[in-house]
């Protein structure tokens, strides 16, 4: 038997997801940081869970970090030998966003597929079954790279001891650039860029802070478009927020994140309805 034949068939994307779920393949640094676990994996459908992380602000922040992995994995699981890249992520909150003390569970499935892109959608729930957010995304689907990013050959995840900085750095500043997101290695995916859910959570946090609508019953809708990935290299990424409308109960803002070269990397529209003010 030849050396090539002894290796057996190449692993598909679905095989790799199952290997990550059972611990036989390395997961991403961001999954280690936030304690994400894949479960219930089937072709076109993926479950995932994680505890809410105190550094993510409201429950929506944790929900977005979890949604990004579940939405992308649902598409990847249905694509035998392909890699995915998130182009757009949408989320709408449902009810109170506080999830303190409850595990978050995401169930997402592929909804449509085209030769070069696919969509997925699902919900993020608490242990008690309460829906925290409905989520959806569109991903570009491309041939998988075998030079890295499979999980097997990835370097061990870096320590997450400085992850608090990623969110404490979102405080208001006096300059025109209102917020920053430190692009820490522990927030990266297997491709070495900051996870899209982390970017979405930072944009939502910054926009919500600027709008100043914070009651427990406030509802938030988020629509993020990703123009380019940003390296998880420890640099500080500027977040710029522009208020589009600020009414007594309803507010709309645009939030952008710039990469290390000052180029637009992602842009979001955030709307908040706050009936109790």
Domains and CATH numbers, the chain: 3-273 (2.40.160.210)
> Could you tell me which of 62, 198, 221, 201 has the C-alpha nearest to residue 134?
221
CA–CA separation, 62 vs 135, rounded Å?
13
Task: Report pTM.
Answer: 0.85
Pairing status of strand 250-258 against strand 117-126: unpaired
Positions in the chain whose pLDDT score sits under 70: 1-10, 54-58, 96-99, 145-178, 213-214, 277
221 is written with which tokens? 């809708």
- Per-residue model confidence as pLDDT tens digits over 35-80: 999 988 989 999 999 988 766 655 788 899 999 999 999 999 988 7
- Per-residue model confidence as pLDDT tens digits over 103-123: 899 999 999 998 899 999 999
Residues 198 and 54: beta-carbon distance below 8 Å: no
């Amino acid at each position: 038997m030849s050396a090539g034949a002894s290796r057996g068939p190449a692993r598909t994307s679905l095989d790799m997801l199952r290997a990550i779920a059972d611990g036989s393949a390395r997961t991403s640094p961001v999954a280690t940081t936030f304690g994400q676990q894949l479960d219930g994996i089937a072709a076109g459908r993926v479950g995932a869970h994680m505890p809410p992380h105190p550094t993510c602000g409201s429950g929506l922040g944790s929900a977005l970090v979890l949604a990004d992995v579940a939405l992308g994995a649902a598409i990847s699981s249905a694509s035998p030998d392909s890699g995915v890249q998130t182009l757009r992520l949408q989320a709408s909150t449902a009810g109170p966003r506080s999830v303190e003390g409850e595990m978050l569970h995401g169930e997402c499935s592929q909804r449509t597929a085209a030769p070069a892109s696919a969509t997925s959608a699902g919900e993020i729930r608490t242990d008690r079954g309460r829906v925290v957010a409905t989520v959806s995304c569109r991903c570009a689907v491309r041939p998988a790279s075998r030079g890295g990013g499979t999980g097997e050959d990835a370097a061990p995840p870096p320590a997450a001891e400085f992850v608090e900085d990623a969110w404490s750095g979102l405080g208001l500043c006096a300059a025109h650039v209102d917020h920053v997101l430190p692009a820490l290695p522990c927030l990266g995916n297997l491709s070495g860029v900051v996870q899209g859910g982390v970017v979405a959570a930072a944009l939502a946090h910054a926009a919500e802070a600027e709008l100043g609508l914070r009651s427990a019953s406030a509802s938030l809708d988020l629509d993020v478009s990703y123009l380019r990935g940003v390296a998880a290299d420890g640099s500080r990424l500027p977040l710029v927020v522009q208020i589009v409308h600020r009414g007594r109960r309803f507010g709309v803002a645009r939030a952008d994140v710039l990469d290390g070269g000052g180029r637009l990397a992602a842009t979001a529209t955030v709307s908040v309805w706050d009936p109790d003010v």
